[in-house]
Amino acid sequence: MVFLAGRPRDSVGHVLTSIKNKSVIVTGGTKGIGKGTAGVFAQLGARVCVLGRSEADGAATVEALRRHGSTAIFCRGDVKEQGDMDEVMATVAAEFGGVDILCANAGIFPSAKLEEMSESAWDDVFATNLKGMLFSIKAALPHLKKSAAGRIVLTSSITGPLTGYPGWSHYGATKAGMLGFMRTAAVELARFKITINAVLPGNVLTEGVSHLGQAYIQTMAAAIPLKRLGTVEEIGHAVAFLASEEAGFITGQTLVVDGGQTLPESRIV
Ligand code: NAP
């Protein structure tokens, strides 16, 4: 687990204190942004369930969290399966006494240019990124409704809602679709006092992004005014804010976390 850069562990306890003892599920918590987000919640004193398909990655993540004294469990599940999601949410509710916060983060970003886009490539990305989001939310809802401050935070992206990148038309469509879903969901869920918001990360150094290669990473870093990719914890902090009681009057909104990548009007000098 990586801690806040340059800040002693104790000081973390003085921000977003409402997160303490909350029961949190992070889909796609076994790697990358989800793993970083799980670490931030754990540091803030939450009880955290990391959800993913890989037993080995899940066990390693939970072990790291527990080593720092946090309450953490791994639940194996595929977001594409409603049955898996129902089972995991019930397990977490039983283990932690409820579910307060769902971070719907699991996602995939395989590349396919338009001319070679197969129906199965399109379906795979939609099944994980959009249907998986829906299945996790549907499964969490009965539990979130019982929470005094139910929260859903989606991991969308700048790609789709704000920008485009060759090979990611299907991916961008799902990430923009998440926001369309969110705005109606926010209205529907308000009567249960549940908020739903989205973070839009720019380029963040994760296991998934490292597979895109060094050339991609260098090109992206050069395109970001802050001249570096984001860290997984920097996304986690934005997620934790939207999940906090301090953010209780914010719903249906987006928070871009991209080091300024979407701002320049011309090539950065
Ligand atoms: P990553 O390093 O590849 O990790 C993806 C995570 O999703 C893993 O924990 C994986 O767990 C899980 N996952 C994938 N398919 C799943 C499924 N069917 N069921 C359950 N879990 C599944 O990716 P990342 O870069 O952290 O991306 C995480 C999210 O952030 C995605 O939604 C992505 O679109 C978004 N995002 C990333 C960036 C970036 O620059 N990294 C930028 C914008 C948005 P298992 O392998 O254990 O199943």
Q: What tens digit of pLDDT does each residue of 29-61 get? A: 999 999 999 999 999 999 999 999 999 999 999
Q: What tens digit of pLDDT does each residue of 59-96 get? A: 999 999 999 999 999 999 999 999 999 999 999 999 99
| 230 within ligand 1 shell (Cβ under 6 A) | no
| 39 within ligand 1 shell (Cβ under 6 A) | no
Which residue's alpha carbon is at the smallest distance from atom 3 of ligand 1? 208
| 259 within ligand 1 shell (Cβ under 6 A) | no
pLDDT over 60 (residue 7): no
CA atoms of 86 and 129, how far apart (whole Å): 17
DSSP code at position 240: H
pTM above 0.85, yes or no: yes
Which residue's alpha carbon is at the smallest distance from atom 19 of ligand 1? 78
Which residue's alpha carbon is at the smallest distance from atom 21 of ligand 1? 52
Q: How confident is the model at residue 15 (pLDDT cuts 50, 70, 90)?
A: confident
Under 8 Å between Cβ of 21 and 47: yes
Under 8 Å between Cβ of 79 and 106: yes
Q: What tens digit of pLDDT does each residue of 94-129 get? A: 999 999 999 999 999 999 999 999 999 999 999 999
Q: How confident is the model at residue 6 (pLDDT cuts 50, 70, 90)?
A: very low
Which residues are marked as active site?
Answer: 171
Q: How far away, in angstroms, is 266 Cα from ligand 1 center?
A: 31
Partner residues linked to 75 by β-bridges: 51
| 234 within ligand 1 shell (Cβ under 6 A) | no
Q: How far away, in angstroms, is 35 Cα from ligand 1 center?
A: 9
Under 8 Å between Cβ of 104 and 153: yes
pLDDT over 50 (residue 2): no
pLDDT over 50 (residue 244): yes
Q: How far away, in angstroms, is 216 Cα from ligand 1 center?
A: 18
Order of strands, edge to edge, in the sheet holding 151-155? 71-76, 47-52, 23-27, 101-104, 151-155, 195-201, 254-257
pLDDT over 70 (residue 1): no
Under 8 Å between Cβ of 159 and 172: yes
What sign for the dihedral angle of Cα 24, 28, 33, 38?
Answer: positive
| 128 within ligand 1 shell (Cβ under 6 A) | yes
pLDDT over 50 (residue 3): no
| 241 within ligand 1 shell (Cβ under 6 A) | no
User: Crossing angle, helix 169-189 and helix 119-126, to 10 degrees?
Assistant: 30
Dump strand ranges (E) for 1-105: 23-27, 47-52, 71-76, 101-104
Percent pLDDT > 90 in the chain is 93
Q: What domains can be seen in the chain, in order of their start residue?
A: 16-256 (3.40.50.720)
CA atoms of 195 and 244, how far apart (whole Å): 10
DSSP secondary structure of 213-225? -HHHHHHHHHHST
Q: What tens digit of pLDDT does each residue of 124-174 get? A: 999 999 999 999 999 999 999 999 999 999 999 999 999 999 999 999 999
Pocket test for ligand 1, best of 30, 33, 102 (most atoms within 8 A of CB): 33
| 15 within ligand 1 shell (Cβ under 6 A) | no
pLDDT computed for residue 5 by the predictor: 46
pLDDT computed for residue 74 by the predictor: 98
User: Which atom of ligand 1 is nearest the CA belonging to 109?
Assistant: 34
